Each structure stands twice: as structure tokens, then as C-alpha cells.
Amino acid sequence: MIDEELVQLLTPEGERVAHPDYASTLSGEQILSMYRDMVIVRRLCNESTSLQRQGQLALWAPIQGQEGAQIGAGRALAPMDFTFPTYREHGIAWCRGVPPENLLRLFRAVSNGGWDPQKYRHHLPTIVLGNQVLNAVGYAMGIQRDGADEAVLTFFGDGASSQGDVLESFVWASSFNAPVVFFCQNNQFGISTPSSIQSKVPLFRRARGFGFPGVRVDGNDMLACYEVTKAALENARAGGGPSMIEAYTYRMGAHTTSDDPTRYRVDAEVEVWKHRDPIERIKSLLVREYQTKPAAFDAINEEAEAFALKLRDDVLAMGRPDPLSMFDHAYAEPHPLVEEGRREMSELLAQVAR
């Protein structure tokens, strides 16, 4: 992964490197706090995979390997910024304060949403590839009209970069100078489709053709992801328009729990990326530069274990929704067919109850 255009502030070995455009501004305390975020989010992911294997979730989309990109980007947000995720932005949801059990409501199939998106300023997961990117640009156009000091951060992957909606988003954001940052996590694969099939040029270079800057950042370098995202959001808030970030990373796990990555990729490649783990390199930095003691890491691990236990309990406590709830909020205003359905089901349920 030697690439002169790749923004990196920390090597896989945890050694700092200088970059002409970006300097790390995080304190040791902040880095440790974000290390904790990554550990907890990875634990959330492992627990969720287990829950799916035990039949407690319908599906899970793992995040392993992408914690650095997401915690880096997520902690770069200002409170009033708004985020538009895919279904894999568990780290962003964590940074936005979405209760973790709410994040799992969708995957337990007890809800098609899961949280109040206005409260957390984090949109609901979008499963149709690329739809949310246009929605994000529209939201950014609203910010412009309100004259607000806010920006939008929206996510998609290398797979969705081929979607018309994403490319239309680039056109619109550029034409209207919308305060939006496009954060593409290039984790190298659609489900099985390699990113080389999505694009013959590095993805970040597409931005230039649409009239705004693009930058490729080491997606496993949390420090670099933080600084690059922070600068892009500040630029957007200041009226500088859109930009694109390609976080170059690797999906260590499967696409989802329904996938079998051994069919389309070789172990040797996975091994190479294991050495670039985003959590380990921050740990090395903390030990080397801040003399963080083993006890501090142990405490975080213990916290993550307790977190996972509580998450499991919370998930198992999520029962089957009331079937009649399907009729709530189908429309904002009264609708005769919805009311007819509600009546019919109420009668059927009453018959069963008798």
C-alpha cells in the first residue's frame, strides 16, 4: 500500500509520519478515548455476529478493519452536523450517540428503523446502495438555505460508487456548492466484487472530474481519518463546497453473516491487512508515545466485555413487535386502506385471543 497520494499520519507499526497538508491535533487523552471507541465498536460487532449465529439476529454486517475510518471520521463531526450512513456505519452511530441496542433493532428485524434520526442527527441505515448520498446532498442544500454553520457527512462504499445516485450526487453537490463531505470507505469488495471492477482509476480521483477535491486517506489510520475529515467538514461549513474522502481500508470479515469470503479472496491478502489493524497501531502509539499502561488497556477491555453482556441482554429482551404496529406511521394523515387493514387485523387477533 505504498502510495504517495495516501494521507497517513501513523504507520501500521504505530510510528508517526509527517504530511505536508495534515498534522495530528489529537491529545493523548483524546487518542485513548478514541481507542476505547474502536475497541467497544469491535466488541459490538463480534457480539452481533455471535447473536446472528445463535439465531438472535436476522443478519449482521461486520465492521472489523474499518473501525479506524469510522471512529476517526465520527469524532471529527461537530454536534450539529448531520450524517447519512449505509448499513455498516456502526462506528458512526456510536459516535453520534445512538444507543447500541437501537442499532440492532433493524438487524433483529423488530424495526425497519431503530432510532430518532433527528435527535441523534444520524439518518437511518440505507440499504438501497447510494440512495442516501442524494438525500445527504438535499439536506446540505437545506443547510445552505438556512444559512446554518453545519455540514453533512455521508457514507458509501466502493461498490456503491458505481451507482447513478452517487454520481448524480457529485454533480449536484458541485453545481450547488453544497456543504457535504462524501466519505467513501473503499474496503476492496462489494460482496464478492473487487473494487477494480468498480473503477479503473483510484476512486478519490473521480472527485476532480466533478469539480471538487478528493483525497485518499489510509482508512486504517484513525489519526489521518480524523484530520482529513475534520478539515473537509470545516471547509464545507465555511462555504468551500463539497469534497470526497476515500478511506482506503479492508473489510476483514464477511460482507454480512450471509456471505462466505473464502470463495473470492485469498488468505494471504487477509494476512497482509491483519498487520495494518487500526486498533493495534493506535495501541502501539499509546504505549510508545504516551506510556499508556497495560492496566488502562485491561480496563477498556473489561468495559467492552461488560458492554457486550448488556448489549446481549438488551437484544434478547427485544420481543416480537405488536403486529398492529405495522399500521402506525404508514402515512402522516389518515388513510382509508390503512385503517381498513388495522380493523381487519384487530378482528383477526381478537378471534385468535378468544
Partner 1 sequence: MTTTTMTMAKALNEGLRRAMEKDPKVLLMGEDIGKLGGVFRITDGLQKDFGQDRVIDTPLAESAIVGTAVGLAIRGYRTVCEMQFDGFVFPAFDQIVSQVAKLHKRSDGVYTMGLVIRLPFQGGIGAIEHHSESPEAYFAHTPGLRVVSCSTPNDAYWMIQQAVESDDPIIFCEPKSRYWEKGEVDLENPPLGLYDALVRRPGSDVTLIGYGSSVKTMLRAAEAAEAEGLSLEVIDLRSIAPIDLPPLVASLEKTGRLVVVQEAPRTASIGSELVAELTERCFYSLRAPGVRVAGYHVPYPPARIEEDYRPTVDRVLDAVDRVMGFES
Which candidate in 205, 264, 265, 290 is catalytic?
264
Q: How far is the CB of 336 from partner 1 (least distance, A)?
A: 5
Q: How far is the CB of 119 from partner 1 (least distance, A)?
A: 8
331 in catalytic set: no
- Site membership for partner 1, residue 118 (CB under 8 A): yes
Question: By CB under 8 A, what part of segment 55-94 binds partner 1?
Answer: 84
255 in catalytic set: yes
Closer Cβ to partner 1, 55 or 164, answer by number: 164
Which candidate in 42, 43, 255, 312 is catalytic?
255
Q: Which residues of 43-67 are buried (b: 16+ CB within 10 A; e: fewer)?
A: bbbbbbbebbeeebbeebbbbbbbb
Q: How far is the CB of 57 from partner 1 (least distance, A)?
A: 18
Q: How far is the CB of 30 from partner 1 (least distance, A)?
A: 31
276 in catalytic set: no
- Cα→Cα distances 87→127, 313, 331, Å: 6, 22, 24
- The DSSP code sequence of 295-347 is HHHHHHHHHHHHHHHHHHHHHHT--PPPGGGGGTTSSSS--HHHHHHHHHHHH
Starting at the earlier edge strand, list the strands of the sheet with 180-186. Answer: 6-7, 214-218, 243-248, 180-186, 152-157, 82-84
Measured N-to-C along each axis, helices 67-74 and 28-53 cross at an angle, to the nearest 10 degrees, of 130
Instruction: Pick one of 23, 58, 109, 171: the residue that binds partner 1 (CB under 8 A).
Output: 171
Measured N-to-C along each axis, helices 67-74 and 278-290 cross at an angle, to the nearest 10 degrees, of 70
Backbone angles phi, psi at 34, to 5 degrees: -75, -30
Backbone angles phi, psi at 194, to 5 degrees: -70, 155
Which candidate in 75, 251, 281, 312 is catalytic?
251
Question: By CB under 8 A, what part of segment 321-350 binds partner 1?
Answer: 328-333, 335-337
Closer Cβ to partner 1, 54 or 325, answer by number: 325
Number of residues that bind partner 1 (CB under 8 A): 41
Closer Cβ to partner 1, 42 or 96, answer by number: 96
Q: How far is the CB of 116 from partner 1 (least distance, A)?
A: 5
Residues that bind partner 1 (CB under 8 A): 84, 112-113, 116-118, 123-124, 126, 128, 131, 133-146, 164-165, 168-169, 171-172, 175, 328-333, 335-337
Q: Which residues are catalytic?
A: 251, 255, 264
